[in-house]
């Protein structure tokens, strides 16, 4: 009954390679996110998608390309991996509701994380 799941849990790869991380949620949410937690433990948002459309795109290198095939999935593809990409990547999901005509983002629920190590 996992709510937000990610695969793989660990990913070790060489510099220059291309890799993907998958995320799935079974909460019926319409918004999904990717966050990065670096070695200093700072957790920062990278992207968010609502109904398969990009909503937030923070200052992230274009080597990172999120892809949302449907509302339940948001995958992260990383090209030409660099040493600085080593981090833990967390997926999250939430629902957007409308209150008084204005969109409202509800509570975000996080996945267990993918630890990426670039050698």
* Under rule CB under 8 A, residue 9 binds another protein: no
Given 65, 72, 112, 117, the residue binding another protein (CB under 8 A):
112
Cβ neighbours, 10 Å, residue 47 = 21
CA 35 to chain centre: 5
Q: Which of 36, 82, 40 is nearest to 59 (CA)?
A: 36
Helix (H, G, I), strand (E, B) or coil at 85: helix
Given 12, 15, 43, 119, the residue binding another protein (CB under 8 A):
43
Comparing CB distances to another protein, the nearer of 14 and 42 is 42
Q: Which stretch binds another protein (CB under 8 A): 13-21, 36-44, 60-68, 69-77?
A: 36-44
* Under rule CB under 8 A, residue 113 binds another protein: yes
The partner residues of 89 in beta bridges, in order of sequence, read 36, 114
Given 33, 68, 78, 85, the residue binding another protein (CB under 8 A):
33
């Amino acid at each position: 009954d996992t709510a937000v799941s990610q695969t793989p849990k660990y990913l070790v790869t060489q510099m220059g390679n291309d890799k993907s991380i998958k995320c799935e949620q079974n909460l019926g949410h319409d918004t999904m996110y990717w966050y990065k937690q670096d070695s200093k433990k700072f957790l920062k948002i990278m992207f968010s998608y609502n109904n398969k459309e990009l909503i937030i795109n923070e200052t992230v290198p274009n080597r990172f390309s999120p892809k949302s095939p449907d509302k339940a999935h948001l995958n992260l593809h990383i090209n030409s991996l660099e040493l600085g990409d080593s981090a833990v990547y967390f997926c999250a999901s939430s629902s957007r509701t409308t209150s008084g005509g204005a969109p409202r983002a509800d509570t975000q629920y996080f996945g267990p994380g993918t630890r990426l190590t670039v050698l």
